[in-house]
Amino acid sequence: MAYWDTSALVKLYAAEPDSALFAAEAMNAPTAVVTSRLAVYEAWATFQRKEAAGALQPGAARKLYAELQQDVAAGELRLVELGDDVEREYGQVLAACYGQSPPVALRTLDALHLASARAVSEIEVVATDKRVRCAAKALGFSLFPA
């Protein structure tokens, strides 16, 4: 089972050079793609940023966000809600990462993503963000892409 960071999730909606690799991984998964509700907001911001930069056609950000919302409604994308379980894991994620020598620096939302993955007992993190990947490795997750 795998947890998808926003860096990988957006590749399922907004075409990037390596999107096909991630689409194949999602299609071959035995269960729905799992991510935090935070990823929905981060993805929307990413779609907007790509549209503003000219990487997406005008109006595409809203369309992609609607597709993402449809996948949530259809159960193809399972969202981990922020709650007490994620909060407990958040503290443990921070302690484990900053307890490394040298410390593994984390941004708040990255730590919340990894805490969400731990809260639902995922064992693999799907991400392209270097900081997330480094922290996930330090926390003992397997990574995709390897």
E strands, the chain, in order: 2-4, 33-36, 77-80, 124-126, 142-144
User: Consecutive sets of 10 residues in the chain, 146 residues long: mean pLDDT of each?
Assistant: 95 96 94 95 98 97 98 96 97 97 95 98 97 97 96
Amino acid 104: pLDDT? 95
- Which residues on adjacent β-strands are paired with residue 77? 33
**Spatial distance between the Cα atoms of 8 and 136, rounded to a whole number of angstroms:** 14
Amino acid 1: pLDDT? 75
Amino acid 49: pLDDT? 97
Amino acid 30: pLDDT? 87
Amino acid 31: pLDDT? 87
Give the C-alpha distances (Å, rounded to integers) separating 129 from 58, 96, 125.
Answer: 26, 19, 11
Q: Write down the pTM of the prediction.
A: 0.94
Q: Any idea where the domains of the chain sit in the sequence?
A: 2-144
Q: Which class in CATH covers the domain with range 2-144? A: alpha beta
